[in-house]
Chains A and B, each alone.
Chain A
Amino acid sequence: MENREKVLEVRGLGIDFGGLTAVNDLDLDIYQGEIYGLIGPNGAGKTTVFNMLTKVYQPSRGTIRLCGQDMAKLNPVTANIAGVARTFQNIRLFNKLTVLDNVKTGMHNSISYGKLAAVLRLPSYYKAEKEADEKAMELLTILGLDQYADTEAGNLPYGAQRRLEIARALATNPKLLLLDEPAAGMNPQETEELMAMIRKVRDYFKISVLLIEHDMKLVMGICERITVLNFGQLLAQGLPAEIQSNKEVIKAYIGE
């Protein structure tokens, strides 16, 4: 494990909302190409961790390093440019845009023409748009959404909307992909397909994945290591087998 490059290094991460400590003293290391699970009972602070990693929330304590770069001064936009992309627990698509355009919004910072080139339709516009179209179609094909390219995102079936969020996140060229409950609301077969897809995406784009999930079959099936949060505190960290047999974890989930 240690010979792989470290993509994310979190030390002593914590955040307070008024008097409430939502997350405290979290350490987390994610290596290149790893699929990492973040689990815990409802209200444990998992999504709050995601919001800190994407800088939607400013952490009260601790450091986040992405490939060695300190993220303290970044905001959501620059954090994305630095290489963190995410999906949302409650799907947040651009509903009135087509599926293809949703993916192309993810390429906002990699499409290089200026406003004037867009208005005057200079050759640089056509070139960049053509490249973006091709890259977006490739992404859609990988995620099995190519037949929907022309559909308004808001009209997609639920499972396809979840996959489109992943496609849009991947379009930003991330180093680390955060998936917030990707299997929520999916049936067992869809979950099975999703697992295969997450692996495929990881291998194809050579990225690391951090995911929050309640579906234990998915978590234990694809995550190489797992962190368990409970009431904002780190409860356990380790391989899936270790987590499954950890008494503290079982207690937190099922009670005594």
Chain B
Amino acid sequence: MSLLEARQLRVDIGGQTIVDHLDLSIAPGECVAILGRNGAGKSTLLSTLAGLRPPTAGTVSFAGQDAGTMPPRQAALNRAWLGQFQSDPFGSTVLETALTGRHPHLGRWAWETKRDAELARSALQAVGLAPMESRPVHTLSGGERQRLAIATLLTQAAPLYLLDEPLAHLDLNHQMAVLELFAGAARDCGAGVIMVLHDPALAHRFCDRALLVFGDGRTENATVDGILTAKTLSELYGYALRQIDDGGQRCFIPE
């Protein structure tokens, strides 16, 4: 059964249709990149796919169940969503923040157990934040905060990850680490991954398929080899690109 299925999805924002007639299905172990210009509606589409925003038309379902009628807690057990902005007006520690990912797994009166703390600590380890677990969140740098948000997502331990610009604020080293982390989760643990990326070369290297969002309702969805070419990407970004192939990898240079 597919982890996520969108049927005839239509998404409007501010009276404008950004996605129309979209059919998308994510099977376990699949990794999909969403690419498009600024303001094309990638984030809006992603939060609609996460069930956080009702679609104008069409349906989204997690593991065969309609996301629109699913209680929020059950949805949180089916998918994890990484937003673009993290805020914390009151401050808390790194470990406490990572532990919030356990919320959907805990009963109303339950407190976090030792096992929950172990899960949170191993998630912090995975993003290289283990030594900082008692640091207040507002002393972290932008990149460290982004990695903490990713650790919180891993703590949630949902089978499907929806990532809105997971590489924001990250240096090259951590960009590769994060992509390998999620590609590994898809390959080894059968997780489904959808991520909004801005680098077509990285999308080609780490993802199985790419969904191009043109911003006028049109979308194209195919394997990365077939769709990530100089021709389609030049049209997508409205800027001429040249493609260079090196071994199995592709890179795109602005003309």
Partners in one complex: no
